[in-house]
């Protein structure tokens, strides 16, 4: 059995490097195909996985918006097909998540007669537009996958075929990052962490106004790690100065994953529209306020320290008040089995002929 692991984005690599390291630990050879959607060099050097055997289409005109990503995907797909056709020794194609690279990796694998294994399968928001195109990509990839590795029982139960609840590889990634990170980070008083990046949020003036209003009720220092796209949209909407005027918010440039894991670990409350950060919050037992209308990680809402706000001001205010208790109040069982997903995935795949 020789798998191909297809990875496009930094987020995909962060959630898949523990699987790759487990393959390497067992001396199981795999083909690492980087689509080129993001540059992965720094992360690969930090975590010590094999370098890509092939980089298919290194950021040829790629833009971060949905239209640019789709255009890039159409150009990259036939090149990826040729790569997989050339490597007849590949039995399984492993893809992760819900990106454009996930979609073209799945389709190229099926077209060339490979079996598809989907890691982080079964997530659903129930709304095709929330988020777009990720919700559509998940459904397509799950439909065409032979083996579906899910992060929770809820996600496994909604799938047909071979679906195995292995837990979440992001938990393995987080603990590895916290172990690897040598930098120190400390603030003497409680602080919050915030990230906002989803297209359905940053492209809507109405939504961004609601998010800024919600953040205005936070009484502790809030480290807002803000991306260039978010800054641009806030300026276009005339909202950037309103954000800067909030004395409790400290605007910060995004920092590498290793260092960010330390910052996250020490935080008191997390505000995010990202799924990965809500997973990490659950593992770290840190209250998380989800600034979205829908979430595909419904199992997290079984915990009382996670609130899906639907951008409702009153719901958000109540959550902020509830989560302003001492952090020791939030010791809860973890819905993702507290690690080991990567070992379970490799255990299963290594038994296949």
Catalytic positions: 197
Q: Please give the DSSP secondary-structure letter assigned to residue 300.
A: G
149 membership: H or E segment, kind and range = strand 147-150
Question: Cβ of 120: how many Cβ atoms within 10 Å?
Answer: 30
For residue 219, what are its two tokens? 């009484």
CA angle 31, 120, 57 (to 5 degrees): 40
Dihedral over alpha carbons 19, 147, 7, 78 (to 10 degrees): 150
Give me 231's structure tokens. 């800054």
Burial bucket for residue 286 (CB in 10 Å: 0-12, 13-18, 19+):
buried
CB–CB of 93/145 below 8 Å? no
- The residue whose two tokens read 């195109």 is 133
Identify any residues that bridge with 285 across adjacent strands, giving them in sequence order: none
């Amino acid at each position: 059995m020789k798998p191909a692991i297809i990875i496009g984005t930094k987020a995909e690599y962060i959630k898949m490097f523990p699987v790759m390291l487990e393959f390497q630990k067992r001396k199981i050879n795999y083909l690492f195909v980087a689509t080129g959607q993001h540059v992965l060099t720094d992360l690969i050097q930090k975590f010590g996985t094999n370098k890509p055997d092939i980089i298919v289409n290194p950021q040829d005109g790629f833009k971060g918006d949905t239209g640019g990503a789709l255009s890039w995907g159409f150009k990259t797909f036939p090149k990826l097909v040729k790569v997989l056709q050339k490597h007849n020794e590949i039995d399984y194609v492993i893809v992760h998540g819900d990106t454009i690279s996930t979609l073209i990796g799945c389709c190229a694998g099926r077209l060339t007669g490979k079996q598809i294994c989907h890691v982080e399968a079964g997530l659903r928001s129930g709304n095709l537009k929330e988020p777009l195109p990720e919700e559509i990509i998940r459904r397509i990839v799950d439909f065409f996958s032979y083996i579906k590795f899910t992060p929770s029982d809820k996600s496994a139960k909604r799938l047909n075929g071979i679906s195995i609840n292995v837990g979440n590889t992001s938990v393995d990634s987080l603990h590895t990052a916290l172990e690897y990170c040598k930098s120190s980070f400390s603030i003497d008083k409680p602080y919050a962490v915030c990230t906002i990046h989803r297209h359905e949020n940053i492209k809507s003036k109405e939504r961004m106004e609601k998010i800024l209003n919600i953040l205005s009720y936070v009484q502790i220092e809030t480290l807002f790690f803000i991306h260039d796209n978010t800054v641009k949209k806030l300026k276009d909407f005339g909202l950037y100065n309103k954000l800067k005027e909030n004395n409790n918010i400290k605007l910060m440039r995004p920092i590498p994953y290793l260092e960010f894991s330390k910052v996250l670990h020490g935080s008191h409350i997390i505000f995010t529209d990202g799924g990965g950060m809500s997973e990490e919050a659950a593992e770290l037992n840190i209250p998380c306020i989800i600034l979205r209308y829908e979430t595909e990680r419904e199992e997290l809402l079984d915990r009382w320290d996670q609130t899906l706000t639907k951008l409702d001001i009153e719901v958000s205010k109540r959550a902020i008040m509830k989560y302003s208790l001492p952090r020791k109040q939030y010791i809860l069982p973890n819905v993702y089995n507290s690690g080991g997903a990567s070992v379970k995935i490799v255990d299963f795949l290594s038994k296949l002929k």
